[in-house]
């Protein structure tokens, strides 16, 4: 089976890329694709607890991350460097994920058959 890597680089309120990512992950997984989701750069902000997008009249798509487990999406990766640069600790994240170094992240991406970057 070919694998699909989806990279999130934008914060949750910069564009609709986060919602598109969730939709893409769920659609691909529903067709049996081996999906991995990566959060790098400002994309790590999508994973923070206690977001209040409704204040800015945005949809709270991050709640949809909980559906990943029902679609067998278990490969959720976060860039350690991105977290460190933004002073984010792992206990501030609302999703169970694996935190990777740049080397580990690049190795995972190198093994993916297809890569989609949402920015």
Q: Which residue has the higher pLDDT, 52 or 105?
A: 105
| Separation between Cα atoms, residue 86 and residue 79, nearest integer Å | 11
The per-residue pLDDT for range 52-65, each reduced to its tens digit, is 545 445 455 556 67
The per-residue pLDDT for range 4-48, each reduced to its tens digit, is 999 999 887 666 777 888 889 999 999 999 999 999 999 999 888
> Mean pLDDT of all residues in the chain?
87
Where do the domains of the chain lie, and which CATH numbers do they carry?
3-118 (3.40.1260.10)
Query: Residue 60 CA to chain centroid, in angstroms?
Result: 14
- Closest alpha carbon to 1 in 42, 21, 29, 24: 29
* pLDDT number for residue 56: 46
Under 8 Å between Cβ of 101 and 80 = yes
* pLDDT number for residue 83: 98
| Separation between Cα atoms, residue 117 and residue 23, nearest integer Å | 14
């Amino acid at each position: 089976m070919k694998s699909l890597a989806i990279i999130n680089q934008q914060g949750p309120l910069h564009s609709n890329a986060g919602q598109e990512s969730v939709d893409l992950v769920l659609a691909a997984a529903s067709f049996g694709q081996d999906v991995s989701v990566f959060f790098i750069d400002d994309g790590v902000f999508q994973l923070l607890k206690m977001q209040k997008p409704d204040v800015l009249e945005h949809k709270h798509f991050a709640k949809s991350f909980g559906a990943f487990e029902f679609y067998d999406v278990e490969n959720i990766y976060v860039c350690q460097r991105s977290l460190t640069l933004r002073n984010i600790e792992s206990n501030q994240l609302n999703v169970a994920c694996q935190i990777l170094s740049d080397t580990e992240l690049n190795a995972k991406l190198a093994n993916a058959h297809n890569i989609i970057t949402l920015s």
